[in-house]
Amino acid sequence: MRWGIRLGIVLMLSTVVGGGYLWYTFRSPYGYEPPASPPIVDTRLERHAVFVYGTLRYDLIRWLVTGDSDIASSPATLKGYTRNDLDISPRVGGTVEGELLKVSTPALQRLDRYERIGARYRRVNVRLEDGTSAWVYRRI
């Protein structure tokens, strides 16, 4: 009987700690100060094109970060760059495979928070292989 109580306590604490970590990392207003002059976002657009090449390719991560389970995504290629772990860098003849997301303005702002623009990444505009103009996150 005691092992059942202990197991219940461990499971409850794991849920609280895990949920707290996820909230703090993906949604909390704490632990991140946005840059004084973030990249300009055209709020007239209903959706913004964002090229992702890392963790944001996964539906679950995108949902945790943005709270939006209905983000359109399609395979995309960025030519003239190569992937270096968590970053991309210009390279003649290079290609980076990823996903093109179409996100709302609030979702784009949540992606900025997740990527910690101004602290870890900067958001820059690139042209994909098919000619689409899209935002991409690059390490500072």
The mean pLDDT values, 10 residues at a time, for the chain of 140 residues are 81 83 72 75 84 93 88 95 93 96 91 88 94 94
Whether the model clears a pTM of 0.85, i.e. scores above it, the answer is no
Task: Round to whole Å and give the CA distance between 132 and 137.
Answer: 16
Task: Round to whole Å and give the CA distance between 49 and 61.
Answer: 17
pLDDT at 1: 62
Block residue for tokens 């290609």:
95
pLDDT at 81: 96
pLDDT at 125: 93
pLDDT at 39: 76
Task: Round to whole Å and give the CA distance between 100 and 5.
Answer: 47
Q: Which two tokens stand for residue 96?
A: 């980076």
Residues in contact with 33: Cβ distance below 8 Å, sequence separation at least 6, in sequence order:
118, 119
| 45-140: in CATH 3.10.490.10 | yes
Task: Round to whole Å and give the CA distance between 140 and 132.
Answer: 24
User: Which residues make beta-bridge pairs with 87?
Assistant: 84
63: Cα within 13 Å, side-chain hemisphere:
5
